[in-house]
A and B are shown apart, each in its own frame.
Chain A
């Protein structure tokens, strides 16, 4: 499906910065942000789970804040910054959260993982030293059907610690 050329009655030109790169497209107003990312830009790391605003699998960051991309229209992202799981780190690298999920076995089937990691990324930007309770609270809008919550929480705490160490080291190096 090429959403950039599909003929429709009412299309809007939007420009969305996705993972640091600006993308211009003509979209129908009813196109959901999740579909724009997946079908329009080929960024299939954003998963669509329940499609009814319950599960959080489609979570992306909109100007740094976690949102459910199945519950807003692509036109609403015009002029804004979107971060998906593909944009967490360069292709050859892992973000500390991705590393944490690997180290602590934070994924089983992996379907909820991108949404979990983006919610966690928003948490750690706001609170670099969360308690276990803080992590559970921040992830309470993301459902894991494998029920792997224990290890997901451990993964986020692992990443938080690594990011704090990295920040301390780079702060020390700057002096």
Chain B
């Protein structure tokens, strides 16, 4: 399969990339890891006139802790770097759990976290993780920068909030207070398949009480879903059986699954309940330990 013809530019600086985007309306696409965009182009679901390859811009593959303890992830930080990251293993349990579950090892060598967020596939794993962590995306254009909360970044199926002239230059995870726990659970038929159901849970606790809860769902709606009611039900509470059951029920209610070849809507909703219960029970054991 061949993609349609396109003009190819490989700028060496971010400024050049932004100039290229500024002049091309919605005919331009940014190429980072390409693990979703290139298949889309081969299938002719996407046919950009201009492809702006940012892989030649130095210094964009970082993921670093900021002075406040928050995490900043560059637009060329690839999944494999996050999978092997000691920083994530040490202090970002939800991200550390998700990284090895993204696609397959070969795709993880190329694909990027920021690119995955921009692709806005309702079955994308990172968007749920970022929703659970209340992350933000920094968008840059030739005329300025703005920060978009993750909850506003994905606006629909395969639709993000970027303007055609904007490039997502960073994902930012805010600093956590107290002790952090969390996980990402994914049901997939085989390695590399999209999630039948994915659940991201990120908790901050102080003295055994939840100070902040993040819960988000993959593959059970037209886009990733932040289970806000379930999050609120946990705030200020200890992770006892009643609180866990209440949060799991509210998360299952927030899901909008559809019956397809991966399972029935009812089954997927059931898996959301099970996964939220399981993830919170694990967190509870960690908090108690």
Q: Which residues from chain A sit less than 8 Å from chain B, CB to CB?
A: 9-10, 12, 28-30, 32, 51-54, 56, 59, 65-68, 70-73, 75-76, 119, 137-138, 140-142
User: Which among A10, A32, A76, A137 has the greatest number of chain B C-beta atoms within 10 A?
Assistant: A76
Can you give 28 contacting A-B residue pairs, CB < 8 Å?
A9-B5, A10-B7, A10-B8, A29-B6, A29-B7, A30-B3, A32-B2, A32-B42, A51-B1, A51-B42, A53-B35, A53-B38, A53-B107, A65-B80, A66-B106, A67-B110, A70-B42, A71-B35, A71-B107, A75-B8, A76-B34, A76-B55, A119-B106, A140-B104, A140-B192, A141-B104, A141-B107, A141-B191
Pick from A52, A65, A73: contact of B109, CB below 8 A: A65
How many B residues have CB within 8 A of the partner chain? 29
Segment 1-60 of B: residues with Cβ below 8 Å from A: 1-8, 10, 34-35, 38-39, 41-43, 51, 53, 55
A residues near B109, Cβ cutoff 8 Å = 65-67
B residues near A12, Cβ cutoff 8 Å = 8
CA distance A132 to B106 in the complex (A): 18
Pick from A51, A70, A73: contact of B8, CB below 8 A: A73
| Inter-chain contact A141/B105, CB cutoff 8 Å | yes
Give the residue name and chain of the B residue nearest to A115 (CB): B106
Give the residue name and chain of the A residue nearest to B104 (CB): A141
User: How many contacts between A and B, using CB within 8 angstroms?
Assistant: 80
CA distance A54 to B193 in the complex (A): 8
B residues near A54, Cβ cutoff 8 Å = 192
CA distance A9 to B23 in the complex (A): 21
Give the residue name and chain of the B residue nearest to A52 (CB): B39
| Inter-chain contact A140/B7, CB cutoff 8 Å | no
| Inter-chain contact A52/B43, CB cutoff 8 Å | yes
A residues near B2, Cβ cutoff 8 Å = 30, 32
Give me 11 other A-B pairs in contact (C-beta within 8 A), A53-B39, A65-B109, A141-B106 excluded. A10-B8, A30-B5, A32-B38, A52-B39, A66-B106, A70-B42, A72-B34, A75-B8, A75-B10, A76-B53, A141-B107
Give the residue name and chain of the A residue nearest to B78 (CB): A65
**Dominant SS among interface residues on chain B:** loop
A116 → B minimal CB distance (Å): 11
Q: Which residues from chain B sit less than 8 Å from chain A, CB to CB?
A: 1-8, 10, 34-35, 38-39, 41-43, 51, 53, 55, 80, 103-107, 109-110, 191-192
A118 → B minimal CB distance (Å): 9
A residues near B10, Cβ cutoff 8 Å = 75
| Inter-chain contact B106/A29, CB cutoff 8 Å | no
A75 → B minimal CB distance (Å): 6
| Inter-chain contact B106/A56, CB cutoff 8 Å | yes
User: Which among B2, B35, B38 has the greatest number of chain A C-beta atoms within 10 A?
Assistant: B38
B56 → A minimal CB distance (Å): 9
A113 → B minimal CB distance (Å): 15
CA distance A65 to B110 in the complex (A): 9
B242 → A minimal CB distance (Å): 38
Asked whether A71 and B191 contact (CB < 8 A) given A10-B7, A30-B2, the answer is no
B residues near A68, Cβ cutoff 8 Å = 35, 106-107, 110
| Inter-chain contact B106/A67, CB cutoff 8 Å | yes
Closest CB pairs A-B (n = 3): A141-B104, A29-B8, A141-B106
A residues near B6, Cβ cutoff 8 Å = 29-30
B residues near A10, Cβ cutoff 8 Å = 5, 7-8
CA distance A52 to B192 in the complex (A): 12
Give the residue name and chain of the A residue nearest to B5 (CB): A30
B residues near A72, Cβ cutoff 8 Å = 34, 38, 110
CA distance A151 to B103 in the complex (A): 24
B54 → A minimal CB distance (Å): 11
| Inter-chain contact A71/B51, CB cutoff 8 Å | no
B residues near A140, Cβ cutoff 8 Å = 104-105, 191-192
Asked whether A73 and B38 contact (CB < 8 A) given A59-B106, A65-B109, the answer is yes
A10 → B minimal CB distance (Å): 6
A residues near B35, Cβ cutoff 8 Å = 53, 68, 71
B208 → A minimal CB distance (Å): 36
Give the residue name and chain of the B residue nearest to A54 (CB): B192
Give the residue name and chain of the B residue nearest to A126 (CB): B84
